Structure formats: structure tokens, C-alpha cells
Amino acid sequence: MDHSFLTSVIKQFEYYKLLGDKTINQLSIDELKQEFVEDSNSISIIVKHIVGNMLSRWTNFLTEDGEKEWRHRDSEFQDTFKNKEELIHYWAKGWNCLFDAIKPLTHEDLERIIYIRNQGHTVTEAINRQLTHYSYHIGQLVFLGKLLKGNDWISLSIPKGNSNTYNQEKFSKEKGRRHFTDDL
């Protein structure tokens, strides 16, 4: 594994944060709190769970188990946000914790063993575990946002019917190594 892994994974986390940001920004607090069926997870509950996980996993992650004693996972599924600003602040707190933990990492750190619920992972494995976990939930968040906004939804990717235009623009550029998020 070369040094591009860390750069790439940071860009991937930034991409999923951006998808969440753009979804949250399109919605009111009432929409963020809406559950489609009883006992389902609203966007605000999904946000609370993601951030709870981030704070537990990334706080002192090289030296402490990723499942902290102070984490109360079950309470993450109770919506307690009073307003959208509080939700956005909490969302940022989780992402700041994650980025503060992974941006200083070096190539040499990637094979270190860390623990989540006493299960050993290399740092690479832990990063991949969390990247897939967050992308799973952010996909839910985006899907719910799209359902809530209906025709007023502002697409976060290539809007339906615009694939040819998008591809023409991409193929009009010189071939070169770049990350797909560089244009966002």
C-alpha cells in the first residue's frame, strides 16, 4: 500500500460529509425529524448515530478501544435536537473528531493494531470499516432527503437525463490522474 491511501480515504470521507451537508442544507428541522413509519430513523436520528459513532471511534483511537465506556449507543436513536443549528453543530463535531484523528496519520501508522470492542484491527481496516459504515448511513440520509423534497430535491450527483452532457464535459478534459471529488 502506498501513500495515496491516506489521501484517497480523506477525500472519500470529505465526499460523504459533503453529501450529508448538502442534504441537511436542503431540509427544515421538521423534515430532518420526520419518521416515515413509527420507530423508523429520521435523518436527525441517523445524524446523531453517525456522530456518536465518530466520537467513540476516533477519540484517542490509537490508544483506546473504539467503543468508549461513555458512549450510550441506544440514546443515539432518540431525537433530542432542538433546532437545525444544534444538529449542524453536532454533525460538524463528529467530522472534526474524525479528521483530527486521520489527517495526522502516516503511512507507518496504517499497520498499527487498534481495538474496537476488543477486536483488533489494523488502522487501515478500522478506517475502511468506518468509511463503509458512514457511507451506508449517509446513503440513507440522502435517500430520505430526496423522498422528503420530492420534485424540489436538488440532485447531489448527475441528475436524471444529464448523463451524456456530464460525460461530454468529463471526456473533453485531458486524461490525468485525479480524484473524482476534485470537481465538487
Residue with cell 446523531: 48
The string of pLDDT tens digits covering residues 82-118 is 999 999 999 999 999 999 999 999 999 999 999 999 9
Contact in structure between 90 and 49 (CB atoms under 8 Å): no
Mean pLDDT of the region 50-59 = 98
Check residue 32 and give its pLDDT.
98
Check residue 1 and give its pLDDT.
40
- Rounded to an integer, what distance in angstroms lies between the CA atom of residue 140 and that of residue 134? 10
- Rounded to an integer, what distance in angstroms lies between the CA atom of residue 21 and that of residue 145? 11
For the chain, give every domain's residue range. Answer: 4-154
pLDDT over 90 percentage in the chain: 83
**Predicted structure pTM score:** 0.93
Domain 4-154 has CATH 3.40.50.12170: no
User: Residues 6 or more apart from 170 whose CB is under 8 A from it?
Assistant: none
